[in-house]
Amino acid sequence: MKDRRKFLKNAGSTALFTSLGTSFFIACDEKEENIDPDNNNVSENGFTLNGNVYSIELNHPNFSVLKSSGGWYLFSEGGMLLVNVGQDVIRAFSNKCPHADCRTSWKYSNNNFTCTCHTSIFTNDGALVSGPANSDLTSYLAQKEDDILTVTT
């Protein structure tokens, strides 16, 4: 991703426009507008949303905890729980508890999420351990590339 940004800056818009065509040029320009150039290429809140796809910048202070194994974050703006389960893997789940829809009362310890509204427990792959909930967390597709996490909800 950083290499692509460097390439775009070095190549110049005119060269891209003439060599790659109008649609590619416009798509790249829209993506770059979401990034704050005065903040080391990190957007203000650390994420951008395009349709149902979040691009999360792991170097942003809001999300940097996710760079370490065991780090987790209740990403309320995105309606999700994020957790680094080790080996460079980050998982994403809806933060809506399947018991009674609590979204904000989560804690994480011993590789388990606990919804403290009524103490339902889930593993870090979203599987139900104990209720009163009777189903797993909803999983989202999460892909990490360099320091960008892409989550499709």
Tokens, residue 36 = 């704050």
Q: How many residues bind ligand FES (CB under 6 A)?
A: 10
Distance between CA atoms of residues 35 and 30, nearest Å: 10
86 strand-pairing partners: 89
Per CB under 6 A, the list member of 58, 97, 142, 149 interacting with ligand FES is 97
Q: Least distance (Å) from ligand FES to the CB of residue 35?
A: 36
Query: Considering only residues 9-68, where is the footprint of ligand FES by CB under 6 A?
Result: none
Q: How far is the CB of 28 from ligand FES (least distance, A)?
A: 42
Return d(Cα 54, Cα 45) in angstroms, integer.
Answer: 12
Q: How far apart are the C-alpha atoms of 147 and 110, rounded to whole Å?
A: 25
Query: Does 100 help bind ligand FES (rule: CB under 6 A)?
Result: yes
CB of 53 to ligand FES, least distance (A): 27
Which of 81, 83, 115, 149 contacts ligand FES by CB under 6 A? 115
Is residue 107 a contact point for ligand FES (CB under 6 A)? no
Which one of 84, 95, 120, 124 is in contact with ligand FES (CB under 6 A)?
120
* Residue closer to ligand FES, measured from CB, 5 or 99: 99
Within 10 Å of residue 9's Cβ, how many Cβ atoms?
11
Rounded to 5 degrees, what are φ and ψ at 4?
-65, -45
Q: How far, in Å, CA of 67 to CA of 86, rounded?
A: 9
| Residues contacting 145, CB < 8 A, separation 6+ | 1
Binding residue (CB under 6 A) for ligand FES from 15, 27, 132, 152: 132
Instruction: Identify the residue whose tokens are 């103490």.
Output: 119
Q: Which residues bind ligand FES (CB under 6 A)?
A: 97, 99-100, 102, 115, 117-118, 120, 132-133
